[in-house]
Amino acid sequence: MYSVKEIYITIQGEGGQTGLPAVFLRFAGCNLWNGLESGRAEAVCKFCDTDFVGTDGVGGGKFKTAADLAREVATHWPDGQGSRWVVCTGGEPLLQLDADLIDALHAEGFKIAVESNGTVIAPNGIDWLCISPKAGAALKQTSGHELKLVYPQAENTPEEFEDLDFERFYLQPRDSSAEGQADQNAAHLTAALDYAMTHPKWRVSIQTHKLIGIP
Protein backbone atom coordinates (compact mmCIF):
# COMPACT_ATOMS: atom_id res chain seq x y z
CA MET A 1 0.00 0.00 0.00
CA TYR A 2 1.30 3.45 -0.97
CA SER A 3 0.04 6.63 0.71
CA VAL A 4 0.16 9.67 -1.56
CA LYS A 5 -0.58 13.27 -0.67
CA GLU A 6 -0.89 14.58 -4.24
CA ILE A 7 0.04 13.99 -7.89
CA TYR A 8 0.24 16.80 -10.45
CA ILE A 9 2.27 17.94 -13.44
CA THR A 10 4.36 21.07 -13.11
CA ILE A 11 7.78 22.53 -13.91
CA GLN A 12 10.70 21.64 -11.66
CA GLY A 13 11.59 24.91 -10.01
CA GLU A 14 14.93 24.27 -8.32
CA GLY A 15 18.21 22.38 -8.44
CA GLY A 16 19.89 20.69 -11.36
CA GLN A 17 16.66 20.02 -13.28
CA THR A 18 15.18 23.52 -13.09
CA GLY A 19 12.76 24.08 -15.96
CA LEU A 20 12.03 20.38 -16.52
CA PRO A 21 8.35 19.42 -16.96
CA ALA A 22 7.59 16.53 -14.61
CA VAL A 23 4.83 14.80 -12.74
CA PHE A 24 5.30 15.42 -9.03
CA LEU A 25 4.43 12.39 -6.91
CA ARG A 26 4.27 13.65 -3.33
CA PHE A 27 4.20 10.85 -0.79
CA ALA A 28 2.49 11.32 2.55
CA GLY A 29 4.58 11.16 5.69
CA CYS A 30 8.08 12.06 6.84
CA ASN A 31 10.44 10.51 9.35
CA LEU A 32 11.52 13.98 10.54
CA TRP A 33 8.00 15.20 11.27
CA ASN A 34 7.25 16.03 14.88
CA GLY A 35 3.49 15.61 14.59
CA LEU A 36 2.43 19.24 14.43
CA GLU A 37 -1.03 19.70 12.96
CA SER A 38 0.39 22.10 10.38
CA GLY A 39 2.08 19.17 8.66
CA ARG A 40 5.47 20.80 8.84
CA ALA A 41 8.49 19.23 10.50
CA GLU A 42 9.40 22.41 12.33
CA ALA A 43 11.00 20.81 15.39
CA VAL A 44 13.41 18.61 13.42
CA CYS A 45 13.48 20.15 9.95
CA LYS A 46 13.06 23.89 10.32
CA PHE A 47 12.96 24.65 6.60
CA CYS A 48 10.05 22.45 5.48
CA ASP A 49 7.64 24.35 3.22
CA THR A 50 5.28 21.59 2.09
CA ASP A 51 2.14 19.91 3.38
CA PHE A 52 2.69 16.14 3.31
CA VAL A 53 0.09 15.04 5.87
CA GLY A 54 -2.82 12.89 4.73
CA THR A 55 -3.92 11.75 1.28
CA ASP A 56 -6.41 14.50 0.50
CA GLY A 57 -4.50 16.45 -2.16
CA VAL A 58 -5.21 16.52 -5.90
CA GLY A 59 -4.56 13.00 -7.23
CA GLY A 60 -3.80 11.76 -3.73
CA GLY A 61 -5.02 8.58 -2.11
CA LYS A 62 -4.12 5.05 -1.09
CA PHE A 63 -2.78 2.80 -3.85
CA LYS A 64 -2.81 -0.93 -3.28
CA THR A 65 -0.11 -1.89 -5.80
CA ALA A 66 2.86 -0.31 -7.51
CA ALA A 67 1.18 -0.83 -10.88
CA ASP A 68 -1.93 1.04 -9.69
CA LEU A 69 0.14 4.03 -8.59
CA ALA A 70 2.29 4.05 -11.73
CA ARG A 71 -0.82 4.02 -13.93
CA GLU A 72 -2.22 6.97 -12.00
CA VAL A 73 1.02 8.90 -12.44
CA ALA A 74 0.87 8.20 -16.19
CA THR A 75 -2.60 9.79 -16.44
CA HIS A 76 -1.05 13.15 -15.54
CA TRP A 77 1.36 13.16 -18.49
CA PRO A 78 0.20 14.66 -21.84
CA ASP A 79 -0.72 12.00 -24.39
CA GLY A 80 1.88 11.26 -27.02
CA GLN A 81 4.64 13.29 -25.45
CA GLY A 82 8.04 11.71 -24.76
CA SER A 83 10.78 12.30 -22.17
CA ARG A 84 8.54 11.39 -19.26
CA TRP A 85 9.84 12.37 -15.81
CA VAL A 86 8.33 11.81 -12.40
CA VAL A 87 9.72 13.58 -9.31
CA CYS A 88 9.16 11.54 -6.15
CA THR A 89 9.07 13.86 -3.19
CA GLY A 90 7.29 14.31 0.12
CA GLY A 91 7.65 14.33 3.05
CA GLU A 92 10.27 11.64 2.68
CA PRO A 93 9.69 9.57 -0.49
CA LEU A 94 12.23 6.85 0.30
CA LEU A 95 10.02 5.63 3.13
CA GLN A 96 7.72 4.26 0.40
CA LEU A 97 9.54 4.22 -2.95
CA ASP A 98 10.65 0.62 -3.43
CA ALA A 99 11.92 -1.66 -6.18
CA ASP A 100 8.40 -2.63 -7.29
CA LEU A 101 7.35 0.99 -7.77
CA ILE A 102 10.62 1.88 -9.51
CA ASP A 103 10.05 -0.96 -11.96
CA ALA A 104 6.39 0.02 -12.46
CA LEU A 105 7.22 3.67 -13.16
CA HIS A 106 9.96 2.66 -15.60
CA ALA A 107 7.46 0.32 -17.31
CA GLU A 108 5.20 3.35 -17.85
CA GLY A 109 8.09 5.10 -19.59
CA PHE A 110 9.12 7.43 -16.77
CA LYS A 111 12.56 8.42 -15.64
CA ILE A 112 12.57 8.80 -11.89
CA ALA A 113 13.90 11.75 -9.91
CA VAL A 114 13.87 11.71 -6.11
CA GLU A 115 14.11 14.52 -3.56
CA SER A 116 15.16 13.02 -0.23
CA ASN A 117 16.46 14.16 3.14
CA GLY A 118 19.17 11.49 2.93
CA THR A 119 18.24 9.64 6.11
CA VAL A 120 17.20 6.51 4.19
CA ILE A 121 19.46 4.57 1.79
CA ALA A 122 18.15 4.93 -1.77
CA PRO A 123 17.24 1.79 -3.72
CA ASN A 124 18.80 1.05 -7.11
CA GLY A 125 17.20 2.30 -10.30
CA ILE A 126 16.71 5.99 -9.52
CA ASP A 127 17.63 8.15 -12.52
CA TRP A 128 18.24 11.42 -10.64
CA LEU A 129 18.83 11.57 -6.90
CA CYS A 130 18.79 14.86 -4.99
CA ILE A 131 19.72 14.84 -1.31
CA SER A 132 18.94 17.76 1.01
CA PRO A 133 20.62 17.26 4.40
CA LYS A 134 18.65 18.31 7.48
CA ALA A 135 20.08 19.61 10.72
CA GLY A 136 20.17 17.06 13.50
CA ALA A 137 19.46 14.11 11.20
CA ALA A 138 22.10 11.50 10.39
CA LEU A 139 22.95 11.51 6.69
CA LYS A 140 22.97 7.91 5.41
CA GLN A 141 22.81 8.48 1.65
CA THR A 142 26.16 10.09 0.84
CA SER A 143 26.17 9.86 -2.95
CA GLY A 144 23.90 10.96 -5.75
CA HIS A 145 23.45 13.40 -8.60
CA GLU A 146 23.03 16.54 -6.52
CA LEU A 147 23.30 17.70 -2.95
CA LYS A 148 21.17 20.73 -2.13
CA LEU A 149 21.81 22.62 1.10
CA VAL A 150 19.68 25.40 2.56
CA TYR A 151 22.01 28.34 3.17
CA PRO A 152 22.90 30.04 5.44
CA GLN A 153 22.16 28.06 8.56
CA ALA A 154 24.00 27.56 11.82
CA GLU A 155 23.56 23.78 11.99
CA ASN A 156 24.92 22.61 8.62
CA THR A 157 27.74 24.24 6.70
CA PRO A 158 28.86 23.56 3.11
CA GLU A 159 32.27 22.38 4.31
CA GLU A 160 30.64 19.39 6.01
CA PHE A 161 29.37 17.97 2.71
CA GLU A 162 31.62 19.09 -0.13
CA ASP A 163 33.78 15.95 -0.10
CA LEU A 164 30.82 13.59 -0.53
CA ASP A 165 30.20 11.69 -3.76
CA PHE A 166 27.77 13.98 -5.60
CA GLU A 167 27.98 15.27 -9.16
CA ARG A 168 26.69 18.74 -8.27
CA PHE A 169 26.53 20.84 -5.11
CA TYR A 170 23.87 23.52 -4.66
CA LEU A 171 23.24 26.22 -2.10
CA GLN A 172 19.56 27.11 -1.84
CA PRO A 173 19.11 30.54 -0.24
CA ARG A 174 17.10 30.28 2.95
CA ASP A 175 13.66 31.70 2.18
CA SER A 176 10.63 32.60 4.22
CA SER A 177 7.23 33.49 2.79
CA ALA A 178 6.25 35.17 6.05
CA GLU A 179 5.29 38.81 5.85
CA GLY A 180 8.12 41.23 6.55
CA GLN A 181 10.92 38.79 5.65
CA ALA A 182 11.87 40.30 2.28
CA ASP A 183 15.02 41.99 3.59
CA GLN A 184 16.15 38.85 5.39
CA ASN A 185 15.51 36.73 2.29
CA ALA A 186 17.54 39.16 0.20
CA ALA A 187 20.42 38.91 2.69
CA HIS A 188 20.32 35.11 2.47
CA LEU A 189 20.46 35.28 -1.32
CA THR A 190 23.46 37.61 -1.16
CA ALA A 191 25.19 35.27 1.29
CA ALA A 192 24.68 32.28 -1.04
CA LEU A 193 25.93 34.22 -4.06
CA ASP A 194 28.99 35.44 -2.18
CA TYR A 195 29.83 31.94 -0.94
CA ALA A 196 29.49 30.39 -4.39
CA MET A 197 31.71 33.02 -5.98
CA THR A 198 34.48 32.29 -3.49
CA HIS A 199 33.81 28.50 -3.42
CA PRO A 200 32.94 27.69 -7.04
CA LYS A 201 32.36 24.00 -6.39
CA TRP A 202 28.96 25.20 -5.22
CA ARG A 203 26.17 26.48 -7.46
CA VAL A 204 23.20 28.61 -6.39
CA SER A 205 19.72 27.08 -6.66
CA ILE A 206 16.91 29.62 -6.82
CA GLN A 207 13.34 28.47 -6.12
CA THR A 208 12.07 29.76 -9.44
CA HIS A 209 8.62 28.21 -8.98
CA LYS A 210 7.97 30.70 -6.19
CA LEU A 211 9.04 33.58 -8.44
CA ILE A 212 6.79 32.62 -11.35
CA GLY A 213 3.86 31.38 -9.28
CA ILE A 214 3.64 27.67 -10.06
CA PRO A 215 3.18 24.84 -7.52
Q: Give Cβ neighbours of residue 117 (< 8 Å, ≥ 6 apart).
A: 30, 31, 32, 45, 92, 131, 132, 133, 134, 137
The phi and psi torsions of 40 (rounded to 5 degrees) equal -105, 145
Can you say whether the dihedral through the CA atoms of 32, 15, 9, 211 is positive or negative?
Answer: positive
Catalytic residue among 42, 49, 56, 194: 49
The phi and psi torsions of 129 (rounded to 5 degrees) equal -115, 120
Contacts of 210-214 with CB under 8 Å at 24 or more apart are 210/13, 210/175, 210/177, 212/13, 214/10, 214/11, 214/13
Active-site annotation holds for 30: yes
Catalytic residue among 115, 119, 130, 166: 115
Active-site annotation holds for 209: yes
Catalytic residue among 14, 24, 27, 169: 24
C-alpha span between 194 and 171 (Å, rounded): 11
C-alpha span between 157 and 147 (Å, rounded): 12
Active-site annotation holds for 45: yes
Catalytic residue among 68, 100, 127, 209: 209
Active-site annotation holds for 24: yes
Catalytic residue among 6, 14, 27, 45: 45
Catalytic residue among 14, 27, 48, 52: 48
Active-site annotation holds for 106: no
* DSSP three-state, residue 68: helix
Catalytic residue among 14, 30, 146, 169: 30
Catalytic residue among 10, 18, 47, 50: 50
Q: Are 202 and 162 in contact (CB under 8 A)?
A: yes
Catalytic residues: 24, 30, 45, 48-50, 115, 209
